[in-house]
Structure 1
Amino acid sequence: MLAPLVEPGAALTAAERERYSRHILLPEIGPLNQRRLKNARVLVIGAGGLGSPVLLYLAAAGVGTLGIVDHDTVDLSNLQRQIIHGTSALGRSKLASAAAAVAELNPLVTVHQHDVWLSAANALDLFAQYDLIIDGADTFATRYLVSDAAALLDKPCVWGSILRFDGQVSVFWNTHGPTYRDLYPEAPPAGSVPSCSEGGVFGMLCGIIGATMVAEAVKLITGVGRTLLGRVVLFNALDATWREISIARDLATPPVTELIDYDLFCGTSTTDAISVQQLATLLAARARSELDFDLIDVREPAEYDIVHIEGALLIPHGGILSEEAVLDRDRDIVLHCKAGPRSAAVLAELQRRGYENVRQVEGGILAWVREIEPALPTY
């Protein structure tokens, strides 16, 4: 059992004793550990599928200070699972929407909004302000960044991941056990694992995994129970089954000494990328017959049917990677997918085969709709 992460805060007021009475009745929590929760500072990465239940349950539990990192806005496709946001929040900053929901649930909680893209340049300064990090990110680059920054600062990190019907939860803490790098020493090839926006997610799974993450955070803060440090729990919603695997520190994994270029490490660097504004300019020039190139949409037919860029040719990425579909080496090629990972994988493979005139669209069709044609649907 780990020692409590946080010292007790000030004595509970009468209103706090009433609000948290069901916690206080638990011998393992009681007034003392409720005061630890009151004094805790927790940073949540992302106000999306996992961040939504995490933030609501942390606030309900009485965690005194919450930080939220997000740089996105609420869209209609979020509402199937991101329960902290409502229809009235469409188009609004997720930070503002989440902060308003927390304030409505528990006005005793202080919320700090960090409207930034988390990066190696700002992670350490940001993490240093908090006792505990909760990682609800949906990209491998961000997960490695969060784990490494937490390790450098000796902060515990509660990690969760969801895709389709499966979820995972663990706790990483460099001085007490393994980190994310011990679970995944190497990043999977870019595009090999779809994001939730590409592969879909069972909405209710977010609540199950998010609530489990909060339970781990509360145990760390209070020193109660056995945490998931050194263990990963995996839940399958289709079968309603839980299983557990053990992980240990990999002695072959070099210690983290600095933050790196995580997009480069994960193969998602945008060195060969163009913006959607640049693509719009290229398409306009192509329409005037001033230049010629192939715009290849590497998504699946069902995605193309929902929304596509006029003039794009659909060739799913699986066909390109397997060489069932062969692209013309003599043509200038611009690739795009939904958000970037699949086009990055195709770009890397084509470059490996010797294609020279290939680029990808940064942010994919989501960026196109957001910045160029907002009247088009998203999914």
Structure 2
Amino acid sequence: MATLGIGMVGARYGARMHYENYSKLAHGLVEIRGVCALTKESAQNYAAAYQVPMATDSLEELLANPAIDIIDICTPPASHHEIAIKAANAGKHIIMEKPLTGYFGEPDDEQPIGKHVSRDKMRRGASKNAEAVREAVTSNRVKFCYAENWVYSPPILKMQKLIRASKGSILELRAEENHSGSNSFFSKEWRFMGGGSLLRMGAHSVGACIYLKQFEGYERLGRPIRPISVIADTADLMHSDASNRAKVVNAHEWISSNPVDVENWANVVIRFEDGSRATVMVSDVGLGGLNTRVTAYMTDGVIKANMTLNDAVETYSVDPNTFANEYYTEKLETKAGWNRPSCDEDWFRGFSQEISDFIYAIKEDRQPLSGIDLAVDCVHVIYAAYQSAEEGRRIDL
């Protein structure tokens, strides 16, 4: 089968991570044939590091390259939907890092939009962007691959098998992700990210809950079980009175979260059409390394999936520098004391599997496990949660 040509859009963390997982595929399956970044220098640095033949700061030039079959979008979310629509109109298949899109303000809006734009207006704008991408993908008949790695992680895949094996129903899902804050400059402002921890991190938890209820629905009823309403609360805890009291001991010594106009904590309850619930908890102010979990409380059992910590390898050190030169796991603040380094973080969290599924879905002309509908549903649920948190009421979907 012909080698698929990849065009990377973005040249930083996400693009580097995607390269690492492309490189694990069978030889000759894919080739990164071009990279586009905000500056030509950034694109050239990526191209030099990974032997990519084309480097540009022009998206149009990348899209015009006939050797490129797939556009892989690893840019900040504010540009996601526009790039995706242009790629679809150019007949290119799409791989996109989450989230799909959001609301990013108006062109002449100079104020921090998270502090003065109503969440109802944001919800309408985000939904419009999301549906525009779906329309472009559908009308141009291209594949859209939504990089929601939780769907592909071995713990969630095993959870699906256990749900299938049981005779019961899911009454409640509890999903959480927390760590001590993003290192990205863009994460601080709504105009770049489209939201805070609820969108940036909660897309994982919300996406996993929607996906698992869809899976249960197909298994039990032959159709997906859909979310129908949301109630939520959000906060910027690092600028709360509780954080201000800690300034004498420097609240930001270990927690990097310091937003301008986004939240760094959220709690969401999703109601599904069968009466079941999903509780989503996300936080950018949680010490102890990355924590990602989903629990299914069923009528005949409980299933717990942990996408990060495992005890295959354990270490103890008095000095945090004892193992300084070896990677442990994302967001770990210190290597002192007892720790559990991940053996293969990309595999265990589903990054390798999602890239493989995307490439074979495009080659085999089938839909990926994580596609456009899941991406759009996540936007609708998360922005309904933002509106709920602002208005203090349940929002129907």
**TM-score bucket of the superposed structures, by smaller chain:** under 0.3
TM-score (norm 2): 0.26
- Structure with max Cα Rg: 1
More strand by share: 2
